[in-house]
Amino acid sequence: MNERESIISLREQLHRHNYNYYVLNAPTISDKEFDEMMHRLQALEEKYPDMSDPNSPTQRVGSDLNDEFRTVPHRRPMLSLANTYNLEEVREFYQRVSDGLHGQPFQVCAELKYDGLSISLHYRDGKLVQALTRGDGVQGDDVTANVRTIRSIPLVLDSSREDIPEEFEIRGEVLMPWQSFERLNDERSQAGEDLFANPRNAASGTLKSKDPKVVSQRGLDAYLYYLLGEDIPSTGHYENMESARSWGFQVSKDMRLCNTLEELWEYISYWDVHRKELPVATDGIVIKVNSLAQQKALGMTAKSPRWAIAYKFQAEQACTILREVTFQVGRTGVVTPVANMDSVLLSGTMVHRATLHNADVLEALDLHIGDHVLVEKGGEIIPKIVGKEGTENGKRKTENSEKSEYSEKSEYSEKSEYSEYSEYSETSDDKHPPFRFPFSVFRSPIHFIQRCPVCGTPLVRGEEEASHYCPNDLHCAPQIIGRLEHFVSRKAMNISQVGPELIQQYYRNGMLHDVSDFYRITHDKKVADSVARSTEVPFERVLFALGIRFVGEIAAKTLARKFKDIDSLMSATMEQLLETDGIGNVIAESIINYFASEENRALIERLRQAGLQFTLSEEQLSTHSTTLQGQSIVISGVFAHHSRDEYKRIIEQHGGKNVGSISGKTSFILAGENMGPSKLEKAEKLGVRIVSEDEFLAMIGQE
């Protein structure tokens, strides 16, 4: 056998050994023998570069490429499943299926719902050719290079199999096993880096990494659960997945065909208990009608198939002891109380801290140091205290409960999205010690603080707000750090080479005082180049990046299109701001106050000198129109010419407003294929006009 033939032979052998080790968990050679074969193949591939193959086993380790992900349309929409936490709703689903099939007998396939990131894998001639994330369901990110590093995903299938279609798509979930998750967080802890909240976040962040080498080192796994194509082997979903298993895909062995509702109850009841024994995170059961013909007969709504549903397990609770309460300051100055407790195992991770959200929630819980508290994870992600042992969990609410629930979502999402500098008071120097209630004050009641725990400024709470905040936004360290992190984030200036750790390092070294200092960095070429590219970011994102209190991504877009440039916005009156669609008193006052500050105006001038975009581009100005001015538009269905996100942008570009639900105030519905029947029925009832994709494009003057 010559060396070129050896390359082909080694690849075949290594693919087989990968499958034996990572899927079957039954290796037939030692690690040392595997490594020796891999090294020999690497050497031969270097010697014969013309024999390169992206699906070679050597590519499992990843390359140094860090290209941006390109967005690719799905051949078939990846719709999400309708969720239920109620067994009675599962019964109702079962009955709807029976009614929809007019009494025909049917089977359902019950499967574990893995808690990871949805993926679509495309194979042609037995080789992996493309891997896409779910994205918005219509299009996803091409993550093929990263997926090739996941060892349980076959790159090349057995060419001797005659039942493998020439072309097919298989969907599943990329996830991080508990063992990999714990190892990764141990490494990050030792390095002083932020920990991942749960395996799903870790898997998602890893798969979207721009460095495949990082992906290859983190131990991702994948379970596949749906086969699609023109020439798939069977008319049954369960049977197709068994075929996929025989081709080399990792398919759960815990799927079960159920002929009756009672069998389905047994399956759900069993896994509600035993899921904790699995090596990966699960958060429910997926129930699918097994027959593909019956699936087709039942059809889809605009958002989800009628032949499948996801039953989500109830959030797991645990009891532990409250030891102390600390108060954290966020990017916008919001102060959040955080419970520090004895560590307890919850949904597969050790939990020792939980958000208490705001003063209303703190008062409603009536907590004391030393209380035995009940903790659960909201959505299996965010730890929160729901009550004390012996009380009705989570049922004691104040009259401000609606505002409290809103605050729970908005403030915690702020921390998770921007890696908020909330740990500052616990990790900073002696100048800013943490504010906490010590355990030594046993059984003492917990009260919300009156002053900022970092800078000492008296806290403020607006009449319509659930949270207290520190108004010292220009000189309070966590707020400064938070704004710096927000400024570089992906949806803002997207300065990819600057992360939270580097920002904190630069801030402590005196290199960063405000966001304009980024544009003075010269000692690190990678950082400087990344910062320089941000000067091309459009005006609406620059406005969002400034971090004006209450001005989110949507409000920034609206304001940019209304006022066209920063100078017009800075000089806008309260009346002019309130004339802007979607801008109310709270946002308008915040904008007026922001630009009333001489320090903020000076910052704008420094950023202008650095070359940032403070006006709409010529292209934006030329394509902007008032064709849809004053019209509220609902988008529904799947489209051929543009994605849903693109249509939302086009509507805003022409002066229209995107709304999520149909009402008597809806101007019209932009309807694509598979518009939901409930929306259609409501539109007809309210007399709301239905506009097709082509009609809409003609309306705005596009072919």
DSSP string, 106-152: --EEEEEEE-SEEEEEEEETTEEEEEEE-TTSSEEEB-HHHHTT-TT
Return the residue matching tokens 């600057």: 498
113 is catalytic: yes
Euclidean distance between CA atoms 191 and 152, whole angstroms: 29
For the chain, count helices (H), then strands (E): 26, 21
Buried b (16+ CB within 10 A) or exposed e, 523-556: eeeebbebbeebeebebbbbbbbbbbbbbeeebb
Residue 566: exposure state from Cβ atoms within 10 A (0-12, 13-18, ≥19): buried
Residue type present at position 402:
E
Q: How many whole angstroms from its chain centre is CA 357?
A: 21
Contact between 73 and 139 under an 8 Å Cβ cutoff? The reply is: yes
Strand arrangement, sheet containing 167-175: 127-133, 117-124, 167-175, 221-228
Please give the backbone phi and psi of residue 113, each rounded to the nearest 5 degrees, phi first: -95, 105
Cβ atoms of 81 and 231 within 8 Å: the answer is no
Cβ atoms < 10 Å from Cβ of 427: 11
Pairing of strands 127-133, 317-329: unpaired
* C-alpha span between 173 and 596 (Å, rounded): 50
DSSP code of 198? S
DSSP summary character for residue 536: G
Exposed e or buried b per residue across 475-488, where buried means at least 16 C-beta atoms within 10 angstroms of its C-beta? ebbbbbbbbbbbbb
Closest CA to 214 of 243, 242, 193: 193
d(CA 368, CA 358): 16
> Quick one: which H or E segment has residue 296?
helix 292-298
653: amino acid identity, one letter: Q
CA–CA separation, 505 vs 523, rounded Å?
Answer: 14
Q: Which helix (H) or strand (E) holds 565?
A: none
Name the residue among 264, 316, 311 with its Cα closest to residue 83: 311
Whether the CB-CB separation of 567 and 643 falls below 8 Å is answered with: no
CA distances from 514 to 607, 650, 686 (A): 10, 34, 51
Report residue 387: phi and psi, to 5°.
165, -175
CB count within 10 Å of CB 462 equals 11
Which residue in 107, 83, 112 sits closest to 94, CA to CA?
107
- Other C-beta atoms closer than 10 Å to the C-beta of 626 total 9
Task: Return the H-helix or E-strand segment holding 308.
Answer: strand 308-312
Output b/e per residue, 345-384; b: 16+ Cβ within 10 A.
Answer: ebbbbebeebbbbbbbbbbbbebbbebebbbbbeebbbbb
- Scanning the structure block, which residue is given the tokens 């996801």? 310
Give the CA distances from residue 336 to residues 388, 467, 498, in Å, rounded to whole numbers and listed in that order. Answer: 20, 8, 26
What is the DSSP code (8-state) at residue 129?
E
Partnered with residue 353 across adjacent β-strands are 340
Q: What is the spatial distance between Cα 522 and Cα 643, in angstroms, rounded to a whole number?
A: 40
Given 32, 113, 276, 564, the catalytic residue: 113
Q: Which are the catalytic amino acids?
A: 113
